[in-house]
Amino acid sequence: MTEEPQYEYYDSRKDAAARQARRDALKKQRQAFRRGTLKSVFRHPLAIFGLAVILIMTFLALIHPILMDTVWRPSIYDPQTGFDLDQPFHPSFPSSRHLLGTDALGRDVFSQLLYAARTSLGVGLLAGFSAVLIALVIGVVAAYYGGWVDNTLMSIADTFLLMPPSIITLIVGLVFEKVTWWMMGLMFGVLAGLGSLAITFKHQALSIRVKPYVDSARISGASGRHIMVKHILPGMMSVMMVSMMFVVSQAMMIEALISFYQGSEVRLSWGTMIYFIQSTFYLSPYGAQWNAILPPALAITLLCAAFYMLGRALDEIFNPRLRQR
């Protein structure tokens, strides 16, 4: 007698359980990666310094309107129209009444410094978010679909690669007088996101697209949108964070330079503070106004350096080769 062939029946429940087990394992790996990343950030000296400076600057920028409503008199401490009649000479050196003194127009320098911090942070964060968002969409879509979609998007990226965002934003800001701070941030972010950043994100997405769990999701019938959002996007977080830090620091430096040359309609920024003070630098009866010109200059330097150092620290944390060095 011949033996009857044995048939193995497909059990959809076993297949669903296997997919769920793979998803759970991947979720645990991501959670462990996030916990390890946070621990590494708080142990890295550059990251600690960068985060401390950014948090302090953000706190000072947010507390200024509270101080104006509760502690400071607007007639004296308003960053644009304030004037202290009790002060015999303007500009004046630091005192208990004015922590950083006053400028030639009698305005409190410390109040101006806090108010102007919102402009620099706004420009930098707007540029960083817009650049990362645009580069992420272009890079992930080009890497996943390939073909003519990839060729078209990368042709656009190659075109904008020849247009450095720092130079283009600086030229536009100096030529056109109607450029506001949000226009500068958005312009810098778009130019950065459409250029080299999009190419970098595409290569990162390609390295994730060939992972086994992405192939499993594609075989199981997941849509392209689901794969890009749930599987490729989480693997892009490291390069997104690092790139954003560098874009923010560059955008803030360009904004300060444009504001110094009065090429924008920014009401008050650290660049305009330096411009106004250097024009009246030796008018003080007490000597040169180092107390007025150093705070905005140091604030620009420290904040840009903080974002740059945080980006370097994140790059070392996420890149094993840099950690080994």
Rounded Cα–Cα distance for residues 144 and 159 (Å): 21
Q: What pLDDT is attached to residue 292?
A: 83
Q: What pLDDT is attached to residue 191?
A: 94
Q: Which residues of 60-89 are buried (b: 16+ CB within 10 A; e: fewer)?
A: bbeebeeebeeebeeebbbbeebebeebee
Q: What pLDDT is attached to residue 131?
A: 94
Q: What pLDDT is attached to residue 264?
A: 56
102 pairs with which residues across the strands?
Answer: 92, 108
pLDDT along the chain (325 residues), means of 10: 48 57 59 58 82 93 92 90 83 85 87 92 94 93 89 92 89 82 91 92 88 79 80 84 92 90 71 83 70 90 92 78 51
Q: Which two tokens stand for residue 155?
A: 């042709």
Domain 107-325: CATH architecture, name and number where available: Orthogonal Bundle (1.10)
Q: What pLDDT is attached to residue 132?
A: 94
The number of beta carbons lying within 10 Å of the beta carbon of residue 49 is 16
Q: Are 113 and 296 in contact (CB under 8 A)?
A: yes
